[in-house]
Amino acid sequence: MGDGSYGEFIERYPSYAGTAAIDELRSRDYSRLDRHAQVYLDYTGAGLYGESQIAAHARLLREGVFGNPHSANPSSRAATVLVEGARARTLEYFNAKPDEYVVIFTENASGALKLVGESYPFGAPGEKAGRFLLTFDNHNSVNGIREFARARGADVVYVPVELPDLRVPEERIEEALGERPDTGSSLFAYPAQSNFSSVRHPLEWVAKAKARGWDVLLDAAAYAPTNRLDLGACKPDFVALSFYKMFGYPTGVGALVAKREALSRLRRPWFAGGTITVASVQGDRYYLSEGAAGFEDGTVDFLGLPAVGIGLDHLTEVGVDKVHRRVEALVGWLLERIMSMRHSTGLPLVSVYGPLDTKDRGGAVALNFADSKGAPIDHRVIEAKANERGISLRTGCFCNPGAGEIALGISRDELATCFTSPAHAKRLTIDDFRDCIDGKSTGAVRISLGIASDFNDVQAFLEFARGFLDG
């Protein structure tokens, strides 16, 4: 069986035809993909920038004079206008009211998450420590917050995901949210969209958690590139973002979008240049600035930040809802076609981790290949072969060990044996880890689609995949 024609695809997913403007955009703003015969399938790793974004940013820098904004001279004031413009544009894009939310610029989503983790009052003076609740399905930058929580005496509670879809059962979330401690501050963290399985977890959990007294940290890094996040309707206390995942450029800039009230309760463990109103050596005192300034260490990327507004304008012009429909159609087709591929023995070519349809799932597909006898093909072999074909995809566990362990069938007992081995007392390498769980995959292949993806990209991957069928 072949991989199907464009006509078959449109018949199955007619909504794709309504996104034809993105084909024109690709030929104009992303022409380098086809010019270099590149098949880019790693949008969850990083978005791609349009050439118009780079041109607009270069023009702005070429025509202006911008200095460090921590001053009042003309070049500093010019830079301040651009920085504050990027801040205001971010609030506008996510429909966040300026009197309710504030934007803190960070180096990436991980930096935003660390800000919350290091400053959250898990164990405020005079209070019993609270709880950190999170799902198995979380990026390591969220998992890492547990170390801050434990250091302050807080409980850390994980809610598992379940096969086959790698979703969290609603009753498990309800139960966990209902067990918030009576005293202390407690934080619930989860991804709006999994960076492993692409499951979209319900945004309704935010209101449910808030109603039970939890603060909510929403990781929107994988969600925002192809979905509209409306902070006027869904109101988490903290949202972590990486702009390069949304529109490719600039890299090294993310944001923590925080409710002003929640931000006022955070307690930073240190101060730095730019974060204080007054600091004294002889007086041994300091006074932290209010709002975003108290959390932006040193000098922000004042030359890069104007590109944030340009990128948001670009995504707005393209239409994130249009990108969503396009990606949904392409993922649906990819799942249908690759799940139908079977060896001559009747065994399937791949195992997909996560939903097998497009309901409440995003634009990434995690899977592993197997040979005609059902034995797994090392994901590193798949990546190497893809590289030879000019296909950019990603392999590994994608910094999401919780979802990966469940998907790959790695048990708690296996992990305990591995981590308590005397040989691994001080250090555990990835090769050591592979030896611990001998015979099981330690990662997967992830194909992810985004703003410039088209039908030919998916067909190229399907053709590549067919090359692993026997006969």
* Cα–Cα–Cα angle for 10, 11, 13, rounded to 5 degrees: 60
In whole angstroms, what is the distance from residue 120 CA to residue 99 CA?
21
Of 113, 90, 315, the C-alpha closest to 195 is: 113
Label each residue of 347-377 as H, E or C. Answer: CECEEEECCCCCCCECCEEEEEEECCCCCEC
Could you say which DSSP state residue 167 is in?
B
DSSP states along 188-234: EEEESB-SSS-BB--THHHHHHHHTT-EEEEE-TTTTTTS---TTTS
In whole angstroms, what is the distance from residue 18 CA to residue 331 CA?
16
DSSP states along 260-327: HHHHTT---S---TTSEEEEETTTTEEEEPSGGGGTS-S---TTTTHHHHHHHHHHHHH-HHHHHHHH
Q: Is the dihedral of CA 31, 34, 36, 40 positive or negative?
A: positive
In whole angstroms, what is the distance from residue 328 CA to residue 323 CA?
8
H helix or E strand, kind and range, residue 432: helix 430-436
Catalytic residue among 234, 397, 399, 436: 399
Q: Is 399 an annotated catalytic residue? A: yes
Could you say which DSSP state residue 130 is in?
-
Distances in Å between the alpha carbon of 329 and those of 14, 101, 372?
A: 8, 34, 29
Other C-beta atoms within 10 Å of 254: how many? 24
In whole angstroms, what is the distance from residue 144 CA to residue 158 CA?
13
In whole angstroms, what is the distance from residue 107 CA to residue 297 CA?
10
- Dihedral (Cα; 4, 7, 12, 15), 10-degree rounding: 130
DSSP states along 32-85: HHHHTT-EE-BTTT-----HHHHHHHHHHHHH-----SSS-SHHHHHHHHHHHH
Catalytic residues: 399
